[in-house]
Amino acid sequence: GMLGGYGHISSIDINSSRKFLQRFLRDGPNRTGTTRALDCGAGIGRITKRLLLPLFKTVDMVDVTEDFLTKAKSYLGEEGRRVRNYFCCGLQDFSPEPNSYDVIWIQWVIGHLTDNHLSDFLKRCRAGLRPNGIVVIKDNMAQEGVIMDDVDSSVCRDLDVVRKIIHRAGLHLLAEERQENFPDEIYHVYTFAMR
């Protein structure tokens, strides 16, 4: 699976993400729309299938691995017809279509981007938002500093480093939440909403 041997946490992850997201989708003057979402680092579509398609009319997926996007087409089943675009591209090179997305969801992928690539990507995401749209990052957070993973060459940043990158991209934090009920031995996971 895509969760590195922690497939059993998928439902906990999805349920928490849904609760987090729904506070922005509720009625109100600044309500986030439900027309179109973008799943960044989408893999085979776990987030698209279980979180985004149930809440949005259409979803676009972007992932650097063509094989994952090909598998996604069968994994998503009938609901996959509402996936408009499968973009095969690294996020450092991807530009969301301007003024197009209500929600841009970025989960467990920022560690594969340099600080500059992440900041630049978030700037492009900001331009890709529709009115009242939000960018969401959900990812592992280091306790302190930046930790390099020798296996896949990714990094795990601490909260302060991530907040600085978000600020540098010109985005404002709307909400920040620590994921509960995950195994103690894995990194803390935080979700950020911004626009």
DSSP for 129-184, please give it.
EEEEEEEEEEEEEBSSSEEE-TTT--EEEBHHHHHHHHHHTT--EEEEEEPPS--T
Query: Alpha-carbon distance 78 to 185, whole Å?
Result: 37
The amino acid at residue 116 is N
In the annotated binding site, the residues are 41, 46, 63-65, 91-92, 107
SS3 107: strand
Cα-flanking dihedrals φ and ψ of residue 95, to 5°? Answer: -120, 110
Give the residue ranges of the annotated binding site for S-adenosyl-L-methionine. 41, 46, 63-65, 91-92, 107
User: What is the distance, to the nearest Å, from the Cα of residue 40 to the centroid of all Cα atoms in its chain?
Assistant: 5
